[in-house]
Structure 1
Amino acid sequence: MKFKTSLVCTFEYIIYFCYVIKFVNSVEYSVRVTDYGKVKGVVEYVHGQKIVEKFFGIPYASPPIGNLRLEAPVPPRSWGDSIRNANVLAPACPQASEGVAYIEYHVPGFNKTSEDCLYLNIYVPRGSHHHRSMPVLVFIHGGSYQNGMGAMFDGSVLATHGIVVVTFNYRLGPLGFMNSADGVIRGNYGMLDMIAALQWIQGNIANFNGDPNSVTIDGHSAGGCSVGLLLMSPLAKGLFKRVIQQSGSPLAHWSVSRYETKPNFVYKIFSSSVKCYSNNSAEVKKCIKNLDTETLQRVITEESEWTTSLTPQYRPVVDGYFLPYTPEVMVEREPLNAVHFLTGATQDEGLIAAIPLIKLYGVGTTGFRKLLTLMSCFRGELPEIPDIVYSVLEKYVKFESSDISEQEIERSFSEIVGDYFITAPTHRFADSLSRRNVSVYLYNYEYKSLLDQWDGVIHGAELFYLSGCPFTGHKNFRYDHVDKEMANMLIHIWSNFIKHGIPSLHPLNEIDLPLFNPRRKSYTKIFSSQREPAVSFMTNLRQSKMTFWNQEVSDMYSNRYSKENNLTHKTTYSHVNGKNTWILASVCIGLSVVTLILTVQYFKVRKEITSLLRQNSISSGERMLNGTQI
């Protein structure tokens, strides 16, 4: 009897073992149809028992190499009756090694780049909504227009809320934004890639259960600037319905090159580095097109950021086509492509950009002298207004005590950087859109996990929560149950806006976020109260500082040019005698010598800051605000 029982148990164990092996080794696939052929993705369980179909590496344009380099994207070629495997992430677009580290910070273990990079990824939920048309979210990544890839945002968890999520790569750096300023190398190739991806989505997303008439675009940082530009570009008309803009604004000074009249220094440096420099931009373009992709990619990979400026080296340009006018003009008078708009920033936007600058420029000084040194070094980022440094310090620093602490220096300087680069232009864009009868919702993200490695709520802090990392886990972070609750709340706010155009907590709570209006400037504070995620409805976030950047600085700038124009008009016919001419020439020669000396010192400083950034891991994946990563 014992032998019989033992035999039965052993037999059942063998059957169970074989079943487990079969389950582990089996992979379920899903095949969908596109205009260019069939694609096969994988089916996976996400966030419990919810099922999501994942399609990676679907081409939305032909490889931008050879004659297609530095040109607008063209549609991909059909692959006929064969089924294309779409279960592996495509390479990111060419970028410096610092950008690859930035990607690995988000997608551990991924470090592939290639010029053949114009691919998208689609996350399709299964369930009760499997056979109906669902709203679509298209996420546009950040990275200073120079770094990153679409898959840094994982759409799996968000898809389980009944949303089809799409991410994609677009051309970066010189291949995406190089501009000769004469119409030959037009720039904005990365922006035209975004248009091509959105057009592909309009034509194909219905085959993935997505509703082409209910598309929301969402971008973070430089991606946030990009969705703002798409909101105003005539080329994007009819391609989406709603916009989410996170920590980036097209009205920020760094978002766009506004008045390019000749090739800039970056253009000359890159064309020289690939041995294509010429005064004839047509020859430069022809030379770059004839480069083999391995050589070009090697130069870009080895290229390091040579400027200490936080402003991106490569960025979109007002070209009369994608951007007919400056963003400031377009937001006031040109047609807009969406009527629902959600935007906001984090509490400490400037922190990770400010810290390395403090460590570099603040050496050897303390107190107010140290802060003044920092601001003097930061002066090049600010508008060309007399005494602007002192105006800024008066707004951000209390001079009540005899000196200022290190903590207060870090707080004040990081707040200045964050407000100027991110928060103030975000609020200005919200204000401008609300005056155009757009439904605007504004948030300020102030939640900090107890397990967070940073001392503040940094640029990009909310992205990992929207990606569902507290549920699925991430190699670079630790999360607790409160973090999971915050992720759940954020995803509900986003998904309700994507579905209905109104950010709300339904069904967690019967609460809708308040509309922003120019008078009350209402916003939603997202934070933690007694170890519980919470929202609070507020008005006029840091009102005096937002008013300073968005109104007072603008008035100072206008007044300066008004006075200069008057002075120019009065002195147009002034006589210059021979003696004055020689004096002027001597001064110019002296200034030229000084400029040469400063240039040499400048590049020495650049080497020092690059070294310091690397020592502090800010130059790798953690740099999420421009020179850090914007």
Structure 2
Amino acid sequence: MRLGVGVVCKLSVVLCVVQGRPTPVPRAHRDVTTTQGHARGYLAPDPPHFAYFGLPYARPPTRRDRFKAPEPPPEWDGIFEATHKIKCTQPNADGEENCLVVNVFVPHDASSLPVLVFVHGGDFQNGWGAYQAPTTFLTDGYVIVTFNYRLGALGFLNLGIPEAPGNAGLKDHIAALYWVRKNIAEFGGNPADVTVYGTGAGAAAIQLVLMSGLVEGLLHRVILESGSALSPSAMMFDPFVIAYNGAVSLGYEGTNNPDELYNFYQQASAEDLASITEMFLPCIDHIPDYELNLIDVDPIRKLKEGKFYNVPMLITFTHIDKTSIIGVDTEKFQHVPENFDDLLPNNLEFEEHKDKHGLGEIVKQFYFKEDFRGDVVQNYADYMHDILTEYPIIKMAMLFAAKNKYSVYLMKFTLPREASDGSEPTSFDAILDYLYKEEEQSEDVLEKLMTLMKNFIQIGDPTPLTTTLIPVIWQPVPSNKQNYQISDVPLLQFDRTVRMRVPPSNQRLLFWDNIYSQFYKPHVIAHEQAEELDDND
């Protein structure tokens, strides 16, 4: 049969259009089979690896599940395009509530590689699982996982009732680690070789989940950077009061009844909840007859009784300079206040106000002696660094080491950061910056850091022998040593050289250890606070 002239012309036009259009080049991809269904990741450069973004590790925590423990993840048919870069709702209203996802980065041709799970910081109020893996670890053959967890009120609202029991954000950590154990082998990772690396609040979160009794077999080593569950900024003492004040800041006019408060929080938008300036943090969440409690007693009691999951630990922190602590606006720190009482850490308690005032005077004299003529701003920075970072981290390392059957290693990183504009060098806020190669420093420093960390990840010992690169054995924190004081804790000081020493601020550490031994304020149970608040009305 002959085609009509018109049909031939039309066919020619179509063929011309098809032949003239460039053929799309398919993106290199790799499919994996998870417990929920097939997922597709795409090849990324520098170094070549496959990246999978936005894989759900739990059901969307919305509606009636908004403040509860995460539920098992959804399943799907077909292929999940793992290209979704998601973050939980941030204080600036960025992000979304349906955010419980992992991101996985896999070296080319991966097979049973060690796994590194990174836990982001952000004071439990902001942050998200990074969309990029540290280049150094990818190059050296590690499967990298990052993940999101609920933040602020959405992650840590505790009303002392099963509908809002608190610590949902920590339970997200456990769910993410469980997902890794169930699925990471399909990506080319080894589920029996998982190291968790947390920074800031992420490090404090790891310590708390180690105390939960719910992570056995989910992780095998931890690296904890610049965060401690013993820090005054790590946990809240009055979750019910925080919840009530947070609701009031959004216009709540009801009573302090937990069910009424819950209904208010349930109906508020995620953006409004993220905007609350009250600090929602982990807390004691022991609710009677509730099976999903996570932290039933004060962390110090847990540590002293050895009630935590034993794993090898590498604990690091940086010496943060005054600009990083106080900021560039130093005007309000130019003078020593007459009354130091309100500047004392919030995890101290006193029987009488005169005791608090007396300690305030002692602390003021310790950091700002009479007729002080030094750098007031620097001494403020030293004070804040001591109470928020150095003392709680070193004390935490001591308590873990005392009951841990594995070694605990402690490092202080004090290498100055070279300023690109020629100004005075400052200290590093994060060792992790090096591992991401975000800082311009020598390859020698990076090689030392990677050697220490890779040795620890592989065998639980960062310095199994001395080498030309690292000519020192990193001694662990002693366990059960008699007459052992915080000023005697051995640490590896990493600056322009690498050497063992006791903490350089040992007298300040002794000062605070003595204070906390007398005035430490233990954490109590949220539902008891609600009852007490009710009785006072």
Name the residue aligned to 1:83.
79
Q: Is the 8 A contact 2:119 2:147 kept in 1?
A: yes
Name the residue aligned to 2:534.
none
Name the residue aligned to 1:280.
257
Please give the per-residue CA displacement for 1:135-156, whole angstroms capped at 9, x wherever unaligned: 2111111111111111177334
Query: Percent identity between the aligned chains?
Result: 26
Q: Please state whether the residue corresponding to 1:263 is helix, strand or coil.
A: helix
Q: 2:272 aligns with which of 276, 296, 299?
A: 299
Relative to structure 1, is the Cα distance of residues 191 and 422 closer, same or farther in structure 2, using a 3 angstrom cutoff?
same
Q: Please state whether the residue corresponding to 1:124 is helix, strand or coil.
A: strand
Whichever residue aligns with residue 493 of structure 1, its letter is L
- Tell whether 2:449 aligns with 1:490: yes
1:462 & 1:219 partners in 2: Cα distance?
A: 11
- Tell whether 2:489 aligns with 1:545: no
Name the residue aligned to 2:360.
389
Matches within 5 A, 1:191-590: 191-258=170-237, 260=238, 263-270=240-247, 273=250, 275=252, 277-291=254-268, 296-300=269-273, 303=275, 305=277, 313-320=279-286, 321-348=293-320, 351-355=323-327, 358-360=330-332, 362=334, 370-373=335-338, 375=340, 378-379=343-344, 381=346, 383-384=348-349, 385-397=356-368, 402-405=371-374, 408-436=375-403, 437-451=405-419, 457-458=426-427, 460-470=429-439, 479-480=440-441, 482=442, 484-504=443-463, 509=470, 512-517=473-478, 519=484, 520-528=488-496, 534-550=497-513, 552-557=514-519
Q: Please state whether the residue corresponding to 1:43 is helix, strand or coil.
A: strand
Whichever residue aligns with residue 390 of structure 2, its letter is T
Name the residue aligned to 2:158.
179
2:163 & 2:198 partners in 1: Cα distance?
A: 29
Q: Is the 8 A contact 2:416 2:428 kept in 1?
A: no
Whichever residue aligns with residue 258 of structure 2, its letter is S
Cα deviation, residue 190, structure 1? 0.3
**The structure with more helix, counted as a fraction of residues:** 1
Q: Please state whether the residue corresponding to 1:426 is helix, strand or coil.
A: helix
Whichever residue aligns with residue 367 of structure 2, its letter is Y
Q: Please state whether the residue corresponding to 2:158 is helix, strand or coil.
A: coil
Q: Please state whether the residue corresponding to 1:234 is helix, strand or coil.
A: coil
1:494 & 1:23 partners in 2: Cα distance?
A: 46
1:277 & 1:468 partners in 2: Cα distance?
A: 51
Cα deviation, residue 417, structure 1? 0.2
Relative to structure 1, is the Cα distance of residues 26 and 445 closer, same or farther in structure 2, using a 3 angstrom cutoff?
farther
Whichever residue aligns with residue 435 of structure 2, its letter is L
- Tell whether 2:62 aligns with 1:93: no
Q: 1:74 aligns with which of 52, 71, 75?
A: 71
Relative to structure 1, is the Cα distance of residues 237 and 276 closer, same or farther in structure 2, using a 3 angstrom cutoff?
farther
Whichever residue aligns with residue 319 of structure 1, its letter is D
Whichever residue aligns with residue 74 of structure 1, its letter is E
2:428 & 2:135 partners in 1: Cα distance?
A: 22
2:276 & 2:285 partners in 1: Cα distance?
A: 27
Q: Please state whether the residue corresponding to 1:556 is helix, strand or coil.
A: helix
Q: Is the 8 A contact 1:346 1:457 kept in 2?
A: no
Q: Please state whether the residue corresponding to 2:308 is helix, strand or coil.
A: coil
Name the residue aligned to 1:17.
none
Q: Is the 8 A contact 1:349 1:419 kept in 2?
A: no
Q: Is the 8 A contact 1:246 1:345 kept in 2?
A: yes
Please give the per-residue CA displacement for 1:344-393, whole angstroms capped at 9, x wherever unaligned: 2111266533346742354xxxxxxx123594552464734342233223
Name the residue aligned to 2:526.
none
Q: Please state whether the residue corresponding to 1:330 is helix, strand or coil.
A: helix
Relative to structure 1, is the Cα distance of residues 373 and 266 closer, same or farther in structure 2, using a 3 angstrom cutoff?
farther
Please, what TM-score do these two structures have when normalized by structure 2?
A: 0.81
Name the residue aligned to 1:29.
29
Q: Is the 8 A contact 2:246 2:276 kept in 1?
A: no
Cα deviation, residue 541, structure 1? 3.5
Relative to structure 1, is the Cα distance of residues 442 and 177 closer, same or farther in structure 2, using a 3 angstrom cutoff?
same
Cα deviation, residue 116, structure 1? 0.9
Whichever residue aligns with residue 117 of structure 2, its letter is V
Name the residue aligned to 1:120.
102
Whichever residue aligns with residue 445 of structure 2, its letter is M
2:467 & 2:82 partners in 1: Cα distance?
A: 34
Please give the per-residue CA displacement for 1:418-472, whole angstroms capped at 9, x wherever unaligned: 11011101000111122114301000011122126896655733221122324xx
2:366 & 2:187 partners in 1: Cα distance?
A: 52
1:344 & 1:547 partners in 2: Cα distance?
A: 20
Name the residue aligned to 2:15.
none
Relative to structure 1, is the Cα distance of residues 115 and 506 closer, same or farther in structure 2, using a 3 angstrom cutoff?
farther
2:27 & 2:425 partners in 1: Cα distance?
A: 42
Relative to structure 1, is the Cα distance of residues 382 and 228 closer, same or farther in structure 2, using a 3 angstrom cutoff?
closer
Whichever residue aligns with residue 372 of structure 1, its letter is P
Cα deviation, residue 535, structure 1? 1.4
Q: Is there any run of 5+ residues in structure 1 with no aligned partner, and where?
A: 1-21, 101-111, 307-312, 363-369, 471-478, 529-533, 562-630
1:395 & 1:539 partners in 2: Cα distance?
A: 21
Please give the per-residue CA displacement for 1:153-208, whole angstroms capped at 9, x wherever unaligned: 73343222222111100000001001113554211010111111011111111111
Please give the per-residue CA displacement for 1:317-363, whole angstroms capped at 9, x wherever unaligned: 1113211211011011143213311112111266533346742354x
Q: Is the 8 A contact 1:52 1:160 kept in 2?
A: no
Q: Please state whether the residue corresponding to 2:54 is helix, strand or coil.
A: strand
Please, what TM-score do these two structures have when normalized by structure 1?
A: 0.70
Name the residue aligned to 2:527.
none
Cα deviation, residue 74, structure 1? 0.6
Q: Is the 8 A contact 1:268 1:277 kept in 2?
A: no
Q: Is the 8 A contact 2:129 2:147 kept in 1?
A: yes
2:189 & 2:468 partners in 1: Cα distance?
A: 23
Q: Is the 8 A contact 2:419 2:425 kept in 1?
A: no
Q: Is there any run of 5+ residues in structure 2 with no aligned partner, and where?
A: 1-21, 287-292, 350-355, 523-537
